[in-house]
Amino acid sequence: MAKAKKQPRPRAETPKGFRDYFGAEVTERQAMLDTIAGVYRRYGFDPLETSAVETVESLGKFLPDVDRPNEGVFAWQEDEEGKRGDWLALRYDLTAPLARVAAQYRNDLPFPYRRYAMGPVWRNEKPGPGRFRQFYQCDADTVGAPSVAADAEICAMLADTLEAVGIERGDYIVRVNNRKVLNGVMEVAGILDPDDPSKHEAERGIVLRAIDKLDRLGPDGVRALLGEGRRDESGDFTKGAGLGEEQVDTITAFLTARDAAASDLSSGKVTLTPGSMFGGIFDKAGAQDLYEVSDRIRELQSSPMGRHRLQNHATLAKLVALVEPSETGMAGLEELAQMADLLLSQGYGPDRIVFDPAVVRGLGYYTGPVFEAELTFEIVDDDGRPRQFGSVAGGGRYDDLVKRFTGQAVPATGVSIGVDRLLAALRAKGRTGGSDRGPVVVTVMDRDRMADYQAMAAQLRAEGIRAEVYLGNPKNFGNQLKYADRRNAPLAIIQGADERDRDVVQIKDLELGARLAESASLEEWKSQPAQFECPRAELVARVAERLARE
Amino acid sequence: MAKAKKQPRPRAETPKGFRDYFGAEVTERQAMLDTIAGVYRRYGFDPLETSAVETVESLGKFLPDVDRPNEGVFAWQEDEEGKRGDWLALRYDLTAPLARVAAQYRNDLPFPYRRYAMGPVWRNEKPGPGRFRQFYQCDADTVGAPSVAADAEICAMLADTLEAVGIERGDYIVRVNNRKVLNGVMEVAGILDPDDPSKHEAERGIVLRAIDKLDRLGPDGVRALLGEGRRDESGDFTKGAGLGEEQVDTITAFLTARDAAASDLSSGKVTLTPGSMFGGIFDKAGAQDLYEVSDRIRELQSSPMGRHRLQNHATLAKLVALVEPSETGMAGLEELAQMADLLLSQGYGPDRIVFDPAVVRGLGYYTGPVFEAELTFEIVDDDGRPRQFGSVAGGGRYDDLVKRFTGQAVPATGVSIGVDRLLAALRAKGRTGGSDRGPVVVTVMDRDRMADYQAMAAQLRAEGIRAEVYLGNPKNFGNQLKYADRRNAPLAIIQGADERDRDVVQIKDLELGARLAESASLEEWKSQPAQFECPRAELVARVAERLARE
């Protein structure tokens, strides 16, 4: 007998590094995206949705730690009637597509172009625990705005957004740095020659990656990576940048400027400049004369907010002393001071937004201010150890990204929120993740009366009540109630032949039943019946009443 | 001098067949997705979001008109530390991933599993006008429900959904058919042998594709494709199924059953069976005795709804006469009749849901009921010709899709709404597509006072008003107002040195200004000033007042 050849069964598995999201995981993310979009819109940003697929050429190569071509992205080559065509790839972020759009529609868009975008991005990386190859970003960018007023606005909006989604003030901090300051320090350390930026490129890459690991490795680990290299706990050796002692000292002093300033503060070695809090620094010749005690400092030190302000101020002064020889570095510090000025005048003090010389941001395209939002509360990690939650958003200025396409400089700045991480943080804090209430389940006592049961569900839905008829095999009634439980159904509706003849229905309150089963006394059982009968005509009214009560 | 090697500039272009969505295009789609999700949820469906990427093996090959491996999808091979790994691909629909999920989590999910999913899918097809390689689908499926009650529920929900998004009753029709009926007709025509389904596979493929083209080619075009073949207007020849005259007649009689029934009706040749409208047919031995005139028929014919019912009834009777020799075909008709029964008893009459023997649905995995929703109003196409809008949703039962993975039969049925086409339809009807109101634009008269302008915008936003500061080069004030116009800004705020000294702001009403410029008399200009001054302290109140008035 002829029989179709048997194929081996496919494996029912998500590809490595990908995952599925069920129920409340989906609705909570959508609710968060809606909230974020609401804040972005209020700031004047307009939505843009680009396709998931871009040409590899237009995406460019800006991912960190990526040297080989097409590494880091999922890419394939077009097959055009047998001929090989363009290389296409899944976007790895929402910024590269924006740069393409800004170039492609440069004559049609209003500039400055404020746009927000949300959606999945893909990274072809080695998956790890909690590390997925598809994740959501929610970005806002301003293209065509040269001044740091745009960067300051983005930072303020980032703080507002975090609070809007439920991260309380004090539980997050937006840390701001500037690539020009980083470049200034590397100039001072002798690994960046402004006249020939192609020199020392490899060393600078290692240095930036080392700085980025300060949180995890501490100053000593970073020092090792700046020098000869570092052997980790597993015995693996990471080759360092090979810098000399003095160079390492310069960069370490830069990184630890905040701590050094803090210790200056506590020993009373800091003073204030006239003029505005930060801008004032640049009205003076140097920073040496800042280190004196004053009454104003004592006053500031008496409040937490005041201490934050002093801390920022003193850090900036330290940095001025360090990068003064570099024009680029001083320009970066000036930008930082201007941003702080604008933010302070709108009430965004260092309790929400601070400088931090250790902020690098991995992506290769940043040219000016860079920032990231970190959650400061502790969570318990998978190994049961408490740790800081860490970064949930980042961004910065990337003035050359549109220029890649057009040859004309187009300044741009923006932020990207890692929505999945932010959701995980809220769940870890217990601020979301309540299980979804399921539908009212209409059970099936008599399979020939399916039309009657469907009519009950339809009537409930017409009143806006989530409802469904059990559609599995109705033979075993216990299975129907088990199903209702698994669906988190608040109520089950039952109408057998007897109820049908008397034109009534049974309403079983599963939520109440579960609560009573846990704790109730016999009296309570009697006074709050978890199952009751009502005329069929009153079904909708009684269900609505019960649901409102729960 | 050493200089970085010049790279050629990348082209700023979306890849062929992809597009970008701006502003209201994005928000309107999101609003539609939210509305659809609302209906699906009310019916008890829970959200699921799978990743865009699946293994090629798990996706399977069910796309229509696809023979070569990996054709129709965007696919690439994993590179695992130098070794070639799994073939991965972008999902081409949301059903194949659901089948994978139902198999993968079969011990954890509540069954029947009702889930909805929304998101982009990708097809590696030749792009054409209005035909894109990435588009949105919004699906609802029930896995584990064997009875046609589940199919009927999906059809009812589809009708509800279309009305919820703004398609009025009468502007759409859900057409229902059953693959078993199609198979029955092919058995009768001698191109399907139930004992050896591998025979005539190619012919059946051609027949199904020909039936699917009835709308476009008409009965004669389909006849040609069933026989030797068909030459189109361009002279291209499509090879036919090579069926004989009698076979072609059988299939054509099947396809035109609705029209034949309609002509029977108008010549008074139809009668009603006792019992329910459709189910009753199967209580009788055959369908021959149905064709008599009765008073009931005259009564039904006196109302449009009644005529619809008669039409459906008479069509079903015709089909019974045609497929009676085939067990499978009769089983399919019985399912259709049961579905109609359930739908009628919930008030979903043939003004919303009808049978139609010409419904095929291209995807290869359907096994029972199939359905599609068609918009019945005319639109003007790109060439200026009026045409029916056509299909916006489709679905059906696919009982073997999960079995591919597990070996165990798992019944399943569902629907997929083509959200982008539905949006295009609403736009064509003028029911959506109103331009988005832009933000209030705070202009910059003095760039050193950026902090003041940002404070104004922040105050407006704190009241929930969309507002932004102009962040382009502020030098040319005319450019700022042009920008505000392009953003669709309702109001612009102006505060120069003079206003600053008097502690006032100017509010320019751009919407009113535009209306006045179009039509107003001099009197109106005077009585409704489009620009006015108010104290700085009243800025927010006056702006809110103006916006409420517009």
pLDDT for B249-298, tens place per residue?
Answer: 999 999 988 888 888 877 767 655 443 344 444 443 333 344 444 566 66
Q: What is the average pLDDT across A212-239?
A: 88
A28 and chain B in contact, CB less than 8 A: no
Q: Which of A350, A351, A353, A422 is nearest to A153 (CA)?
A: A353
Hey, what are B364's tokens? 């290869």
Q: How far is CA A335 from CA A329, B81, B85, B235, in A?
A: 10, 43, 48, 68
To the nearest 10 degrees (0 to 180), the angle between helices B201-212 and B179-188 is 120
- The pLDDT assigned to A305 comes to 57
Task: Name every chain B residue with its beta carbon within 8 A of the beta carbon of A46.
Answer: 22-23, 436, 438
B487 and chain A in contact, CB less than 8 A: yes
A461 and chain B in contact, CB less than 8 A: yes
- The pLDDT assigned to B354 comes to 85
Give the pairing type, strands B134-143 and B113-122.
antiparallel
CA angle A236/A242/A244 to nearest 5° reads 135
pLDDT for A26-81, tens place per residue?
Answer: 999 999 999 999 999 999 999 999 999 999 989 887 655 444 445 789 998 887 77
CA distance A44 to A60: 29
Residues in CB range of A478: below 8 A, 6 or more apart = none
pLDDT for A178-193, tens place per residue?
Answer: 999 999 999 999 999 9
Q: In this predicted structure, which of A343-357, A414-428, B480-494 has the lowest mean pLDDT?
A: A343-357
A483 and chain B in contact, CB less than 8 A: yes
Between B231 and A440, the higher pLDDT residue:
A440
Between A257 and A393, the higher pLDDT residue:
A393
Q: Which of B2, B55, B111 sits opposite A196 (nearest CB)?
A: B2
Q: Which of B16, B25, B341 sits opposite A451 (nearest CB)?
A: B341
CA distance A279 to A292: 18
Q: Which of B12, B145, B483 sits opposite A58 (nearest CB)?
A: B12
| pLDDT score of B501 more than 60 | yes
Q: In this predicted structure, which of A239-243, A543-547, B79-83 has the lowest mean pLDDT?
A: B79-83
Read off the DSSP letter of residue B7. P
- The pLDDT assigned to B167 comes to 94
Q: Which of B153, B46, B317 is nearest to A435 (CA)?
A: B46
CA angle A234/A236/A237 to nearest 5° reads 140
Task: Name every chain B residue with its beta carbon within 8 A of the beta carbon of A487.
Answer: 44, 110
| pLDDT score of B299 more than 80 | no
Interface of A with B in 337-366 (CB under 8 A): 341-342, 345-346
Interface of A with B in 222-241 (CB under 8 A): none
- The pLDDT assigned to A274 comes to 40
pLDDT for A268-313, tens place per residue?
Answer: 676 554 433 444 444 433 333 444 445 666 666 776 656 666 777 7
pTM of the model: 0.87
Q: In this structure, which amino acid lies at residue A393?
A: A
- The pLDDT assigned to A276 comes to 35
Hey, what are B97's tokens? 């991933």
To the nearest whole Å, the CA of A470 is away from the closest chain B CA by: 8
Q: Which of A16, A147, A461 sits opposite B42 (nearest CB)?
A: A461
Q: Please, where are the H alpha helices in B294-438?
A: 295-301, 304-323, 327-345, 403-406, 419-428
As a whole number, the mean pLDDT across chain A is 86
Number of C-beta neighbours around residue B15 at 10 A: 21
Prediction ipTM score:
0.87
Hey, what are B94's tokens? 């949301």
Q: Which of A4, A342, A407 sits opposite B454 (nearest CB)?
A: A342
A140 and chain B in contact, CB less than 8 A: no
- The pLDDT assigned to B287 comes to 38
Task: Name every chain A residue with its beta carbon within 8 A of the beta carbon of B473.
Answer: 146
B436 and chain A in contact, CB less than 8 A: yes
Hey, what are B380's tokens? 């003007």
A345 contacts B451? CB cut-off 8 A: yes
pLDDT for A360-374, tens place per residue?
Answer: 887 668 899 999 999
B150 contacts A112? CB cut-off 8 A: no
Kindly report the backbone phi and psi dihedral angles of residue B182, in degrees, each rounded to the nearest multiple of 5, phi listed first. -55, -45
> What end-to-end distance do the CA atoms of chain B give, in Å?
62
Q: Give the rounded percent of residues in chain A with a pLDDT score beyond 70.
A: 86
Instruction: Name the region of A444 (left: φ>0; alpha: ψ -120 to 50; beta: rest).
Output: beta
Q: Which of B208, B187, B200 is nearest to B396 (CA)?
A: B208
Report CA B432 to chain centroid distance, whole Å: 16
CA distance A516 to A456: 27
- The pLDDT assigned to A418 comes to 93
Task: Name every chain B residue with its beta carbon within 8 A of the beta carbon of A486.
Answer: 110
Q: Which of B200, B210, B288 is nearest to B248 (CA)?
A: B210
pLDDT for A120-179, tens place per residue?
Answer: 999 998 887 778 999 999 999 999 999 999 999 999 999 999 999 999 999 999 999 999
- The pLDDT assigned to B68 comes to 47
pLDDT for B364-422, tens place per residue?
Answer: 688 999 999 999 888 777 677 777 788 899 999 998 889 999 998 899 999 999 999 99
| pLDDT score of A465 more than 90 | yes
